[in-house]
Structure 1
Amino acid sequence: MSPFPLYQGSEIIEQETDQSLLTERYTASAIEFISSNRERPFFLYLAHTFPHIPLFASAKFEGQSEAGLYGDTVEEIDSSLGKIINALEKYSLKDNTLIIFTSDNGPWFEGSSGDARDRKGGTWEGAYRVPFIATWPAVLPSGTASNAAVTGLDLFPTIANIIGSSSHLDNQVDGADIMGVLRDGDSTPHDHILFFNEDQISGIRLGEWKLLVRAYYKTYDVPLAELSYPLLFNLAQDPGERYNLAMKYPAQVTSMMALIENAKERLAIPPAPSFP
């Protein structure tokens, strides 16, 4: 990808940067930030470029994994996180620092979505379900796991509550405080969760039920609900979304469709594109 300028804030600091050094440089900047702010509370958001394509790894990691260049980039990110944690330990900050490691979407051309169906860009679980790991030794229990449905939108209100700034939030903020899930093992704070593709609602999650109303096939955005073929799955019994239960549970489909229609009106969702 060329040209590939590197920014510091809104300023271009290099017109053409060596992408193989990006992970290393991001890590060094993060550690410098921690060092400079170690005497006061801080917030650090580190969004690595890789493993998004085009893939690059530094000379130290290139060719070192058994999963090709993709695996090399993942191993370097793992090393990056280790260095950041070491920096927190160096300044005696680790116990009282909340670290969250997650992703914005499922795998694209490479990587694994596990038992989930499909990948980035789809409407299935493989597109939306991502790793979410949180550690805060002074507050959160270690070695626990949760199946509660939460989203990346929950991070903002959760962190706002932690730092005591939630009074500035209004009821129009997307997301919910998930500290109860992380600390106490609570169930999801959401009554339901909407799934989007661009400006269209593609599905909804209600407890263990997931209803898909739009899907994507080749270049087509297929309006499943409009074609009288919504797809209903029970994710507890069928995490791979293999068997449609819409005909067996029509009342469940009706109630979830009503939530979608209410959301369309509340959010002023524009008309869907024509098909095909």
Structure 2
Amino acid sequence: MKVIDKGAADDAPFFLYLAHHYPHEPLTTSEDNLGRSDAGLYGDVVEGLDDGIGRLVETLQETGELDNTLLIVTSDNGPWYQGSAGDHRGRKGSVYEGGFLVPFLAHWPAGLDGGRTIDAMTMGTDVFPTVLEWLGIAAPTDRKLDGSSMAGLIDGTSDAASEFYYFYSGLDLLAVSDGRFKYHAVTDYVDAPSGNADGLSVTAQGPWLFDLDADPGENYDVSARYPDVAAALKAEFERRTAEMDVNPRGWN
């Protein structure tokens, strides 16, 4: 907590980026924490993470900095071998919602109205431009930022942070969404029977269009029902892919 203590003592801004390894494999926790959760070792680890966030909040309270500190808690991907993606398809490593849909909590009493849940699509790449706008810092002009500011969405002056969101595997674009609908291009689908690595088979599947409002589990292709939406998202998919092929690093 030295970063917080020093910032408070010097009356200076401070920044703390705390990237936990857990609950990534291999899972370990302190002996005192074992058996604490009904969710087994995985749950014990998550309880420990929660404790760590609690200690940060306590330190901010003790230094009088809690109300004027932007505290963001989120994750980089959905669950891997353990944990739950709820009713959503996929896990870590996939571009289905189970691999991408994660908690995002923002606490900043001096700058944000609390007690609200906003049901709109955003991505981790939106955090950087959002914080720049909140702090009144000009965004760099020598490159294109991957994200869009969420400031308008959070303060209620906008219904969305961005027109489109892009789902990548490495440098390969696999899906694009407008917030409600999500278009998956033709991709290789790996069939891996449990306990039989020799039985792996790969088949090309798609394109698919999912209505995330009606079908958040991405179970049913509705491209025949919404052909115009499918065509529009396919066009955006192709535009973005061509843009990346020409300028993958996004320099202006």
Q: TM-score, normalised by structure 1?
A: 0.80
Q: 2:158, 2:32 → 1: CA distance? A: 42
Higher mean displacement: 207-216 or 165-174: 165-174
Maintained 8 Å contact 1:120/1:126: yes
Q: 1:135, 1:86 → 2: CA distance? A: 14
1:256 to 197, 217, 233: 233
Distance 1:193 1:206, change over 3 A: same
Distance 1:223 1:157, change over 3 A: farther
Match of 2:207 in 1: 230
Q: 1:157, 1:115 → 2: CA distance? A: 31
Is 1:208 the counterpart of 2:180? The answer is yes
TM-superposed deviation, 1:64: 1.0
Matched to 1:181, the amino acid is L
1:159 to 131, 137, 142: 131
Name the count of aligned residue pairs: 236
Maintained 8 Å contact 1:200/1:269: no
Matched to 1:33, the amino acid is V
Q: TM-score, normalised by structure 2?
A: 0.87
Query: Which aligned runs of 4 or more in structure 1 are off by greater than 3 angstroms?
Result: 167-171, 218-224
1:221-267 superposed Cα distances (whole Å, 9 cap, x missing partner):
7553xxxx311111111111111112222222111111111111111
Maintained 8 Å contact 1:106/1:126: yes
Is 1:36 the counterpart of 2:13? The answer is no
Please state whether the residue corresponding to 1:211 is helix, strand or coil.
strand
Q: 2:201, 2:97 → 1: CA distance? A: 19
Q: 2:202, 2:72 → 1: CA distance? A: 34
Match of 1:71 in 2: 43
Q: 1:45, 1:185 → 2: CA distance? A: 29
Maintained 8 Å contact 2:165/2:179: no
Identity of aligned residues (%): 36
TM-superposed deviation, 1:138: 1.3
Q: 2:19, 2:220 → 1: CA distance? A: 36
Match of 1:52 in 2: 24
Matched to 2:61, the amino acid is E
Matched to 2:239, the amino acid is N
In angstroms, what is the RMSD of aligned CA positions? Answer: 1.9
Match of 2:160 in 1: 188
List alignment gaps of at least 5 residues for structure 1: 1-30, 271-276
Please state whether the residue corresponding to 1:118 is helix, strand or coil.
coil
TM-superposed deviation, 1:269: 7.4
TM-superposed deviation, 1:169: 4.2
Is 1:109 the counterpart of 2:81? The answer is yes
1:22-61 superposed Cα distances (whole Å, 9 cap, x missing partner):
xxxxxxxxx1221122221111110011000001111221
Match of 1:150 in 2: 122
Please state whether the residue corresponding to 2:31 is helix, strand or coil.
coil
2:220 to 223, 243, 251: 243
Higher mean displacement: 49-58 or 241-250: 241-250
Matched to 1:87, the amino acid is T
